[in-house]
Structure 1
């Protein structure tokens, strides 16, 4: 793909209609765009990306309000002064399709209608406007040839370039670039389709859909209950620790008071006696509250269920009566009863019907048919249960009032105790006694408060434990059903096997390509770096992690010291996996234990060459930049694809020696189209002179401070 030109108007600082030509000519592949910081260089790239990829350039799936609001913020402020607000970006691209070069014009325009921003997107193929379906097909074609993520991969800011592969997502970004460049991302797409197919097969089964919903809900409920239990247990443990600490403090305080010889007067004994009596009463009431919470409160919380239990007992008594009468009342008894009253002119066949009719008149058969015997209590059990339920239901208000009165009484007792203690404190002489009373009272109050909190937490914990039992039962039952459905679905198993095979196949296919990347990288890197024996090889593993190696000489004693100081695990981490492989291969050892035996038994004073890991983080920022640039070139070279390479601040961290190497060997050869965004401090007179023969177009961006807009002119800085 080649970017031939871009035309933009009212986009950020580009107020006037501005056009750039990027088409390379013959051996001239470099477009040089100069400008000071803030003149609009990065804006130019953003405009290209936005025009080509639309909402996905900002990470959105469609023209949603957030995307349109972001576009609105990018429209030049002066555009809103016009009667018609018009913002436009147009990019011309060319692709090789077979043996032909096809030109596409992408035009993305934003206008305001009724104070709302509206986006219009048009695609022209060889100057012919495509239909909506054809434009949609082109977008898919573009995504297949140069996805948005790959386009971003080949645009870099030199200031941030060295960090690109040094973050946690570096290997993932590199992997995506490799797969897309070598057209292996098709397998990833196929895998996604297979996973989508699995979900589709599952959702087509209505029963399985319901089971999935029940499974998710039951798991969510169970997890929520268990999380609440954990939180309560943590709080409970904390409160118990606090209570234990308070009891220890109280015991130590009492012992300290006694051993210090504290003595109270007779009047104080009387007050203390009252306090003790009130404390005992408060303890008794607290015990009543505890018993109430354990024995009565659970029933008060389910009075509706108790009332339903009474109804169930009544229904079961009716069922029992019905069964008893039904078994005893027969046609023969009816006949004898009627004969005893001299009623005998009835057909013999009617007696059984009379018996049935009598029973049906006595009982509501329809209601009985919907009732079930659940409790099946004996008479004694019924009497006991009904007595308890009636006592609770009939005395519900009294029980609640009694509990409320108990809390009120505790409050009164606390206030009374406080008043007595205040009186005691005021009548006692001596700072020591006063201090003791204040501290002991404070501790007792904290103890009572903590005990009540523990009681409340215990009750809450017990409630959640019961909920957990129910939730666990429901989850286990639904899980078993769900597992059974999944195990019986052969299509899902087959597609799962295929996805595993794709992973294996992809690993095998990329192996040779990674070797080609390694080969091309070393050739390019050694050409650019201009240092002998700086890096001898690069290894790209199956996880797409890149490791540089250099050949180094080691004596037997060096190796022994390394093994003794670091150990096997740290040797691999510091010196690299290839160091270990080379070492074992040199000594023909199968393990480090064998290696130590061989080294000690046959000591040698000859040095051996081993591939040693180069820590990328130890490289200078300039060397890191060269490393990344060479890796990018090796990707483009190995893939044999035409990809525009856009480089902002190209010489940010590179010294003068390597600048010339990059200028002579790198920029003219990395791609058929290279777009450089630079300041005059980077590409100075000497560099400009070297790069000039390769420049097909050059522009200078000038920011008009007065009118706050970007203006352009052909040419570069006067260097």
Structure 2
């Protein structure tokens, strides 16, 4: 299948008529990518909706439909500039192989602001000729080409990839697509058909009272099934509300934290601590003042004190020398008087005097070369000065250093506490932040309770359905005794068990192939090829599990946000490959939160090989200048379009070319 052309007329923001060539061939050379560029709100998703609407009509899962009825949705989709009688029109031309030959079809859907009978007008052109029979059976025919159940594997958007990446189990739409792809819905449909057959046989064979009982049981079963559908829908809505409440609570908690809520909650403690630190700082300064009033200032003249000590020691020696000289001089005088009595010659006396003078001179050199003492410190003063320099002053300086360091620490802690108080929210702001958190928490608890109640109701209805089915089985065994029809009814149970076994084995077989494809795709897209060796898929809920080369589980939280997106894309890619259908792929907002390396892998490896035709709808920040140049160099782009949105007119115009 190849999309050839898309025509939009007065659809969404596309006023008037726009003809878009989607042919991936240029001069008989196939280039798979059709690239659309547009800013957010510029009409990219509308293009995807147009393709879905053209293919599936009222069954289409369009982004803006929500809970609207089909008539309301068609009215909403009309361009706001179109007149009430002006026609809105979507045409999708595609080629498909029939009997080994390419055949072209054109789907035409048209309506006005007030569609007749609440529907569009559908026309199918088979090679330029209308085919009314095909128009009447189009819903069945398109299921043979691109079934609605698996369309999400080929027509998907970044939000779908994001949801698939963040959830542990795939969304319900993807699960249904997997079941349709694996052929599991055939077994389920056959099981339901067998239930219907058994029910008809019971009605045909039962008596009037038995028939009444059967009809009553089946009526209850039908009612419970309807209640189950309603409960399932309500559960989906409650789950969405719960997610929104969780998101709001997280945002409120983050805001409470970042804007100083937690600090404000401890404000009294911080203020008390600030007072204590201020008092400790003042006490420390007072201790330093007391220290400075003692001997510490003498540390400034340590050098002068050492010189004074030296001078005092020299003067003490001089004083000692003078005392010694006087004692010796008196002794010499007595000696000379005694020698005079001995009748020595004058020459001998002169020699003795000269000897004594030389001896005295050698004993008192300090007296010859030092000046007169001026410091005049006694011996006790010298001892005190020595004690000051050697012990008291060093101790005071060391103590002062420690007190300075302690004061510095107190001042830093005081400054840090003041900064914390400065950034803390005021009491009024704190109350507002706290109130927001409490309200969000209250809403979260309310949503959790509602979700649990809805889940409980769904489970109760499911149990009731199972119980009624058992009643039907028991009733058939006791009330119906005709051999052939009893055989049929009993056989239904056996066939259903066989179908269940068949379904389980088919699931294992198909999932083994799917696991191989997903693993290959993920490893091909992932730049860290040694991170994951195998991807396993759960047979019950189709959740993904990762394993490394040693066969050990790789927790999903180890993957970055970009790697999770690549895993989701690999999952969708693997499903598309397993389907065996040669179908186009359309991707809205394809790159999401990918970093540069993952983005490069996706641009280089996925887009050019995802299918024979790949329609990309991107903003300028996703497929930017680097990425588009890379695709051009690969020769992968067939056509480029730019969706120019006029915010004043609220209209989009399709132009040839891209942002760059």
Between the aligned partners of 1:478 and 1:45, the Cα distance in structure 2 is 46
One of 39, 44, 54 as aligned partner of 2:42 = 39
1:71 and 2:74 equivalent? yes
1:536 and 2:533 equivalent? yes
Between the aligned partners of 1:106 and 1:542, the Cα distance in structure 2 is 38
Q: Give the C-alpha shift of residue 196 in structure 1.
A: 3.3
1:709 and 2:651 equivalent? yes
Between the aligned partners of 1:532 and 1:168, the Cα distance in structure 2 is 22
Number of residue pairs matched?
399
1:195 and 2:189 equivalent? no
Between the aligned partners of 1:503 and 1:115, the Cα distance in structure 2 is 45
- Structure 2 counterpart of 1:691: 631
Between the aligned partners of 2:95 and 2:221, the Cα distance in structure 1 is 54
Distance 1:698 1:199, change over 3 A: farther
- Structure 2 counterpart of 1:664: 604
Q: Give the C-alpha shift of residue 478 in structure 1.
A: 12
- Structure 2 counterpart of 1:147: 147
**TM-score scaled by length of structure 1:** 0.51
- Structure 1 counterpart of 2:502: 505
Between the aligned partners of 1:139 and 1:219, the Cα distance in structure 2 is 29
SS at structure 2 position matched to 1:513: helix
One of 28, 33, 44 as aligned partner of 1:30 = 33
- Structure 1 counterpart of 2:100: 99
When Rg is computed on C-alpha atoms for both structures, the one with the higher figure is 2
- Structure 2 counterpart of 1:549: 546
Distance 1:493 1:701, change over 3 A: same
- Structure 2 counterpart of 1:623: 563
CA contact (8 A) 2:640 2:658 kept: yes
CA contact (8 A) 1:547 1:613 kept: no
Q: Give the C-alpha shift of residue 615 in structure 1.
A: 2.4
Q: Give the C-alpha shift of residue 486 in structure 1.
A: 6.0
Mapping of residues 90-239 of structure 1, within 5 Å: 90-111=91-112, 118-132=119-133, 134-164=134-164, 166-167=166-167, 170=170, 173-183=173-183, 185-204=185-204, 207=208, 208-215=210-217
SS at structure 1 position matched to 2:583: coil
Mapping of residues 488-503 of structure 1, within 5 Å: 489-503=486-500
Q: Give the C-alpha shift of residue 217 in structure 1.
A: 8.0
Distance 1:114 1:695, change over 3 A: closer
**TM-score scaled by length of structure 2:** 0.55
CA contact (8 A) 2:202 2:476 kept: no
Between the aligned partners of 1:153 and 1:478, the Cα distance in structure 2 is 39
Mapping of residues 351-366 of structure 1, within 5 Å: none
SS at structure 2 position matched to 1:153: coil
Distance 1:697 1:683, change over 3 A: same
Between the aligned partners of 1:486 and 1:79, the Cα distance in structure 2 is 65
Distance 1:161 1:13, change over 3 A: same
Distance 1:41 1:492, change over 3 A: same
Between the aligned partners of 1:113 and 1:638, the Cα distance in structure 2 is 43
Between the aligned partners of 1:220 and 1:636, the Cα distance in structure 2 is 36
Deviation digits for residues 268-310 of structure 1 (CA, Å, limit 9, x no counterpart): xxxxxxxxxxxxxxxxxxxxxxxxxxxxxxxxxxxxxxxxxxx
Mapping of residues 411-426 of structure 1, within 5 Å: none
CA contact (8 A) 2:166 2:564 kept: no
Between the aligned partners of 1:505 and 1:41, the Cα distance in structure 2 is 43
CA contact (8 A) 1:664 1:691 kept: yes
Q: Give the C-alpha shift of residue 117 in structure 1.
A: 5.0
Between the aligned partners of 2:477 and 2:572, the Cα distance in structure 1 is 47
Distance 1:103 1:550, change over 3 A: same
Distance 1:185 1:642, change over 3 A: farther
Between the aligned partners of 2:127 and 2:221, the Cα distance in structure 1 is 57
One of 455, 468, 479 as aligned partner of 1:485 = 479
Q: Give the C-alpha shift of residue 58 in structure 1.
A: 4.7
Between the aligned partners of 2:473 and 2:618, the Cα distance in structure 1 is 62
- Structure 2 counterpart of 1:51: 54
Distance 1:169 1:17, change over 3 A: farther
CA contact (8 A) 1:171 1:545 kept: no
CA contact (8 A) 1:112 1:118 kept: no
Between the aligned partners of 2:506 and 2:473, the Cα distance in structure 1 is 39
Between the aligned partners of 1:479 and 1:495, the Cα distance in structure 2 is 10
Between the aligned partners of 1:165 and 1:196, the Cα distance in structure 2 is 39
Mapping of residues 368-383 of structure 1, within 5 Å: none
- Structure 1 counterpart of 2:232: none
